[in-house]
Structure 1
Amino acid sequence: MTQSLDAALASRFAATALGHVTREYPNHIMHVLTGPQDARTPRDMHPIFFGSFDWHSCVHGWWTLFTLYRLHPDMAEAPAIRALAAELFTPQNVAGEAAYLARPEARGFERPYGWAWLLMLAAELERHETDEGRRWAQTLRPLAQVFADRFKAFLPLADYPVRTGTHYNTAFTLRLTLDYADAHDADLAALCRAAALRWHGEDRDCQAWEPSQDEFLSPALMEAALMRRVLSPEAFRAWFDAFLPRLGDGRPATLLSPARVSDRTDGKIAHLDGLNLSRGWCWREIVAGLPAEDPRRAVGAAATAVHLDAALPHVTGDYMGEHWLASFALLALLAD
């Protein structure tokens, strides 16, 4: 399979996302009930992001659609994307999403993974230059502000990083959030950079005890991709030399070989396809931060290719993967 986003692949990913962003069931909800009155359906609680099996996957399903629409505005799926966005991305529906978040029990709702993806979605819409794109961006801004404010309240309280390879990984959170904050919120960007340096600035000699059985992020490579974004080129190279000092010798070998996915109908095991895609994304970003003559560029480029070859054919095929994997494929294919 091609390792670039051509028109055919964009159309395939768009058709897949259109098939799940309004698919309400099955649905894994993250919801605290204080009494029987709180037993509600996904669409009642979340008038925009009620599909895609869970709230965060629906958010980044829409990021996928809007990104593909911007890059390939003439694809066959474009009219359907426009029509569905016009129906769902309304001030009333955004207010409904914000009202759910105003519940005291929702303080930790989707923290931090969904927070970061919502800001990533907002950053994507702000790139659109059409009148409709500007309307969508303006409509979403109040919800983006809710999550930016939540990050500003939370990051000063977060003394420690979370290094797991699942939704709670804080390096992934900061890396995505910086796409929004660098362009639209200088105070949040400063908080993200301070947290990254506080958590990871002194990390050395990473042992890379991965993968775990249901990871979709590499704790080691995600941290390196974040630090490449946070540090100057010279500072990143010095940090990376100390973080993975034996990479030139092919170690840790686990970071260079794709994970095996034994059952793609199992939602947790299918996470490993996402791990392979996100490793490809991280390797591309890391390689871009190394000097042209650095031999580790070849190591990273080879690792990128083998991970994407292993995962891209499986982005669609079973709902346990296809309700979210296209987003991670796009992260990898568009990385630089």
Structure 2
Amino acid sequence: MHPDLAARFARIALGHVTRDYPHKADHVMTGDADAYIPRVVHPIFFGSFDWHSCVHGYWLLARVRRLFPDGAEAGAIDALFADAFTLDKVEAERAYLDRPASRGFERPYGWAWLLMLASELRVGGSVHADTLQPLADAFVARFRAHLPMLTYPVRAGTHANTAFALVLADRYARVADDSALRGQLASRAREWFAADRAAQAWEPSGEDFLSPVLMEALAMQRLLPPDEFAPWFSAFLPDLVRGEPAALLTPARVSDRSDGKIAHLDGLNLSRAWAMRALAKATGSDVLEDAAERHLAAAIGEVAGDYMGEHWLASFALLALTGVD
């Protein structure tokens, strides 16, 4: 990844993680006292249109700061983090989770991205890693409590996708050396997905930004030993060597980038590129490698412009270019 592109992504994120409005809340009100002002209720993650996009905007900045320590935006990132990651602000974010009405807050997408941010700060040796840890611990506890109750995985191509959350949570578990969490993630992945065969890939849906098929495959690749994953993957996508399912390997077409839901499809192209690259590396698939390059080319130039995409797409572009680790 070129430093100039990393700096461009960082400038995009710096421009929206502290932008108050427009804002889309995931907030349940039980009375007048629950009136919502984003910056008051979420003193760190109030920007970027919604809470989870703000979290992964901070993740983007943390990763760029780690990979390019002498980058042009390093000083601005450091100043932002020093202001954002204070004990009081982290405690306010954590205390929000204590509300009974917040039980389903950002489940599981925001949970997973918060853990990705925490792991990135830890790997980068950031002075803010320990400060954020109480919030990370709260979301780990939520994962541990929720996973046994989730009888069936959510296979949607949007925020509720279970497999995507497993992949990001696994990254945190590896960095934190949390073998109990990783074991739980792997156990549930086997229970949900081990019997899946010959994926039809009836995708994309019109508002997808994740591929249900590729997210499932990526979760299994992350969580299973290689000798267990290889036969599972061969049975899961048995016609891949012949370029099937074609719909899975063809970049999505985006008709209107000012429509927030249709703009999701740019994210689909980027997240598919990320998953395909990772799976190609694990399996040696030239078909996936070629498809990944076509998906990346279709979307890498669309990360800025209309705010409906700009507030989040650069994070997915960085994920496509650098991977989950």
Q: Secondary structure at the match of 1:94?
A: helix
* Post-superposition offset of 1:37: 1.2
**Is the 2:273–2:293 Cα contact (8 Å) retained in structure 1?**
yes
1:133-152 equivalences under 5 Å are 133=126, 135-152=127-144
1:63 matched residue in structure 2: 59
In structure 1, which of residues 1, 16, 20 is the aligned counterpart of residue 16 of structure 2? Answer: 20
Partner of 1:175 in structure 2?
167
Q: Distance in 1 between matches of 2:307 and 2:4?
A: 21
Write out aligned runs for 1:216-235 (5 A): 216-235=209-228
Given that 2:122 and 2:175 are in contact with CA atoms closer than 8 Å, whether structure 1 keeps it comes out as no
Given that 2:270 and 2:295 are in contact with CA atoms closer than 8 Å, whether structure 1 keeps it comes out as yes
SS of residue matched to 1:234: helix
Quick one: which of 177, 191, 196 aligns to 2:189?
Answer: 196
Which one of the candidate residues 115, 122, 134 is aligned to 1:126?
Answer: 122
Please, which of 31, 37, 43 is the counterpart of residue 33 of structure 2?
37
Q: Which residue of 2 aligns with 1:294?
A: none
2:128 alignment partner, SS class: helix
Which residue of the partner structure matches residue 146 of structure 2?
154
Amino acid at match of 1:256: L
- Counterpart CA distance in 1 for 2:236 and 2:22 is 41
Distance in 2 of aligned mates of 1:224 and 1:322: 28
- Cα distance in 2 between the residues matched to 1:274 and 1:334: 15
The one-letter amino acid paired with 1:195 is R
Between stretches 48-57 and 247-256, larger displacement belongs to 247-256
Aligned to 2:49: 53
Residue ranges of structure 1 left out of the alignment (5+ in a row): 292-296
In structure 2, the partner of 1:270 is 263
Per-residue deviation, 1:234: 2.1
Distance 2:115 2:175 in 1: 11
Aligned with residue 74 of structure 1, among 58, 66, 70: 70
Q: With structure 2 as the length reference, what TM-score do the two structures score?
A: 0.98
Preserved contact between residue 209 and residue 271 of structure 2 (Cα < 8 Å):
yes
Q: Say what the alpha-carbon RMSD is for the aligned residues.
A: 0.9
CA distance in 2, matches of 1:254, 1:314: 21
Say which of 91, 97, 111 aligns to 1:95.
Answer: 91
1:183, distance to aligned residue in structure 2 (A): 2.5
> Quick check: 1:303 aligned with 2:296?
no
**Percent of paired sites with the same residue:** 59
**Matched residues in 2 for 1:273 and 1:181: separation?**
29
Question: Corresponding residue for 2:202?
Answer: 209
* Displacement after TM superposition at 1:228 (Å): 0.8
Amino acid at match of 1:76: A
How far apart, in 2, do the equivalents of 1:196 and 1:204 lie? 14
For 1:21 and 1:178, the matched residues in 2 are separated by 25
Say whether residues 1:323 and 2:311 are aligned partners: yes
User: How much has 1:232 moved relative to structure 2?
Assistant: 1.7
- In structure 2, list runs of 5 or more residues that go unmatched: none
The number of residue pairs the alignment matches comes to: 323
- Residue 157 of structure 1 aligns with an amino acid whose one-letter code is M
Q: Distance in 2 between matches of 1:112 and 1:33?
A: 20
**CA deviation map 1:103-162 (0-9, x unaligned):** 111011000000000000000000123xxx1x2000000000000000010001111100
Distance 1:258 1:235 in 2: 30
Deviations along 1:175-220, one digit per CA (max 9) or x if unpaired, are 0100001221221111111111110011001000000000000000
AA of the residue aligned to 1:116:
A
**What TM-score do the two structures reach when normalised by structure 1?**
0.95
Measure, in 1, the Cα distance between the counterparts of 2:313 and 2:184.
29
Aligned residues of 1:236 and 1:289 also touching (Cα < 8 A): no
1:332 aligns with 2:325: no
User: Residue 40 of structure 1: CA displacement?
Assistant: 2.0
